[in-house]
Amino acid sequence: MKRLLTSVAMAALLTAAPAMAQDKTVLQFWDNQQTESGLSDYQRAAVERFEAENPDVTVNVTTIPYPEYQQRLLTAVQGGNAPDIATLDQIWVAAFAAAGAVEDLSEEAAAAGLTKDKFFPGAWDSASYEGGLYGIPFNVDVWQFSFYNAALLQEAGVDPASLATWDGLKAAAEAVTDRAAGRFGVGLFGHEGEDTVVVMNSFVFSNGGSVLGEDGSCALDEPAAIEALTYLQSLVPYAPQGILNASSGDMRQLFLNGSLAIEFWPALEQPTLQKSAIDWGFVNGTAPEGKTPVGTYGGWNLAIFSASPNKDAAMRFAEFLTREDVNGDVVDLVPANTKAAAAFLAANREGPDEIMAHLENARPRPLSPRYLEVADIEVRLAQDVYSGEDVAAAAKKACDAIDALN
């Protein structure tokens, strides 16, 4: 009888083993492609580490180039094939939330101990929409830091610290500019790209203005925004020609060849500058005297899709990726977890304390389901301003167009 019971028990274990294997959760994770080959070594190592800590879960990672990413996600949602969890650009969150495509994670985040105080405030706000939390902040950066060529400023007798104020930046740009010699004070750009929008927004924010008011109506025609746009227009004489077709990448080339003294970038530019021969530095944006510069956030949030059958495992994965000891190893920008960010910046960036301060103070772009249309209107506004149009009239035209979206 004992042998019979042993045989039956062994048979039960053998037949149960395949069933247990079938019960293993397969998590579909989509991410913006970070390398030419797709998945970076850091991402791969993080997935392996998560699977080791969570042996009941397998993570399948799909990486997609940025230009295709949003449309691929939309197509997957519409076709009922959305991933369990994905990184969403901050500017997409409101649209996916309004469509009911992603989950409100307010309760899950609180239960996991993922609270606003663990992340940069503006990054947390970028995932918040109409009282809900539709993502967990993953990585961030801020536009803009005012990077400068120290040799060009020294030659012109400019104190780099003066770039932190509007008056100081304009005076420095004027002192450096020598068009006959092909040297320019400040790199303005107004092409059809998000870099045009975020830099313009940072000047508006730094003067106490907004793009949208609390009721969702356009605020770009209010005095604080008008003043900021007028200031940007005043910098045009000290910038290279072709502003309307220029991008931040074009300005990078001029900066690296020594013909541009001051440029507006996020902290992401530092690795490129560190490899260059330029003696460079930076200040945290630019604001009127007596005001604190306020940057514009960029970055990504981790969203869990409403159709996912694996929401618990997806939340575990989001919690893992944003953990203090993990977040810095899996991002190509700056970790959104503030403790992870402090360690990451100390190891990888010049002026880590200054960057931390600017990140703490930055604001997200408008939390609108129609953000992409708002951004297109802002690009046209920037082009009108840089073309020399009357600023108030250009702002009113932009606000009329934005308000017509509602």
pLDDT in tens, 161-174: 999 999 999 999 99
Q: What is the pLDDT of residues 136-165, one digit of tens each?
A: 999 999 999 999 999 999 999 999 999 999
Cα gap 239→189, rounded to integer Å: 9
- Share above pLDDT 90 across residues of the chain, in percent, rounded to a whole number: 87
pLDDT band of 41, cuts 50, 70, 90: confident
Residue 380 has a CB neighbour count (10 Å cut-off) of: 15
Q: Mean pLDDT over residues 370-374, rounded? A: 96
What residues contact residue 376 under an 8 Å CB cut-off, 6+ apart?
A: 192
Q: What is the pLDDT of residues 231-249, one digit of tens each?
A: 999 999 999 999 999 999 9
Q: What is the pLDDT of residues 320-360, one digit of tens each?
A: 999 999 999 888 789 999 999 999 999 999 999 999 999 99
Q: What is the pLDDT of residues 292-317, one digit of tens each?
A: 999 999 999 999 999 999 999 999 99
| CB distance 233 to 217 below 8 Å | no
| Omega of the bond leading into 241 within 30 degrees of 0 (cis) | no
Helix or strand holding residue 89 (H, E): strand 85-89
Answer yes or no: is pLDDT of 12 > 80. Answer: no
Q: Mean pLDDT over residues 218-226, rounded? A: 98
Check: pTM over 0.85? Answer yes or no.
Answer: yes
| CB distance 126 to 363 below 8 Å | no
Cα gap 262→277, rounded to integer Å: 16
pLDDT band of 34, cuts 50, 70, 90: low
Q: What is the pLDDT of residues 59-113, one digit of tens each?
A: 999 989 989 999 999 999 999 999 999 999 999 999 999 999 999 999 999 999 9
Q: Which of 9-18, 100-109, 182-191, 349-358 has the lowest mean pLDDT?
A: 9-18
- 166-175 burial, b at 16+ Cβ within 10 Å, e below that, comes to bebbbbbbeb
pLDDT band of 33, cuts 50, 70, 90: confident
What average pLDDT does the structure give for the chain? 91
What are the structural domains of the chain?
25-142+298-361 (3.40.190.10), 143-296+368-403 (3.40.190.10)
